[in-house]
Structure 1
């Protein structure tokens, strides 16, 4: 199927009309929309936070599929050794050659706490996916000793399609906390998330960026 026309080219991301339409709801957000927002966080909101890394869903999917000995191929170009907090948007897609999946959750590695924290807006749905991915990465970060894995409570979605918006909101909140406090564990995660407002906010960001080109 032919791609719809390009709405915005933002650093490494091309947003098409079909991607932007997903933000109108009620739709599941795809890899491209989440990658765009991760890029926006890195290049705009947290451009001075050199200790924080937002890994795109595409790179995360590649890491899932390679041998542990090949993980460095994807992480070292991102200056991973200089980062204290690494954010991964995870989905339950196990196919190595196509985007997809049905549920997003957020995995954060905190080097300062030597811990993976998992935030799932449909509690338990992505536990196995997150644990498998964290275990895969532990061999890469094992130089720091034992690494913990913790499923953290967070606000739960009330439908079957807003998981991606929750990942975006949780990422932004946790990154702000990490920047201010240099840890993840104490971040208050019961603050209300309004997915419809966040969708409109992201549409506004896209509109403003496209006008400035």
Structure 2
């Protein structure tokens, strides 16, 4: 069936037609699209900024549901080559380790210079428990105290039930650009509704460009 056709093979990401279709309508984004865009941000958009790291939703999910002692299995390979000052995690409310799914995305960002975990949720409060639990695990991994090191940052709220993933991608790109210039997260301007509205088509154009580039 055409929905299973491969549209783009890009580094570790394999986009099928069914994935790309999610960008064309009022649909919730899956792990595959978010993983692809995180790869794009790290390998192209910010390829000259080595202190940024974008962790795939799949790895984030494994970290979230695994015991503390297993975090080095997932994080050490990502961090051993260079010091990453800003690390982006796309957080899902799914509780299962071996399946994709869930109903809401939010963004958790670790800032080494500020020694903080920042949480951006386009549906305020929806992912609070998930974010706090993951933040505490990560702070322990980085040998940092937990007290007063987690901040829910006021951010643009979604006006529908399906754009949470788009908000994660917009927030990630805006924050990464801000961090690349100012070496901090706090103080970054909010994204706008216009950015959210345009992002689906921007990603579709990027996929088309990469398809021609990688032929």
Aligned length: 212
TM-score, normalising length: structure 2? 0.94
Unpaired segments of 5 or more residues in structure 1?
none
Shift of 1:194: 3.8
Unpaired segments of 5 or more residues in structure 2?
none
SS of residue paired to 1:107: strand
1:54–1:86 CA contact under 8 A, matched in 2:
yes
Mapped partners of 1:136, 1:166: distance in 2: 24
1:91–1:103 CA contact under 8 A, matched in 2:
yes
Shift of 1:136: 1.6
Shift of 1:137: 1.5
Q: What residue number does 2:203 align with?
A: 202
Q: What CA RMSD, in Å, does the superposition of the two structures yield over aligned residues?
A: 1.7
Q: What residue number does 2:181 align with?
A: 180
1:74 pairs with 2:74 = yes
Q: Which runs of 4+ in 1 moved over 3 A?
A: 144-147, 190-194
1:166–1:193 CA contact under 8 A, matched in 2:
no
Q: What residue number does 1:110 align with?
A: 111
Mapped partners of 1:20, 1:3: distance in 2: 9
Mapped partners of 1:201, 1:173: distance in 2: 14
Shift of 1:139: 1.4
Shift of 1:138: 1.9
Write out aligned runs for 1:1-213 (5 A). 4-79=4-79, 82-142=83-143, 144-145=144-145, 148-189=149-190, 191-213=192-214
TM-score, normalising length: structure 1? 0.95
Shift of 1:190: 5.2
Mapped partners of 1:193, 1:118: distance in 2: 22
SS of residue paired to 1:82: coil
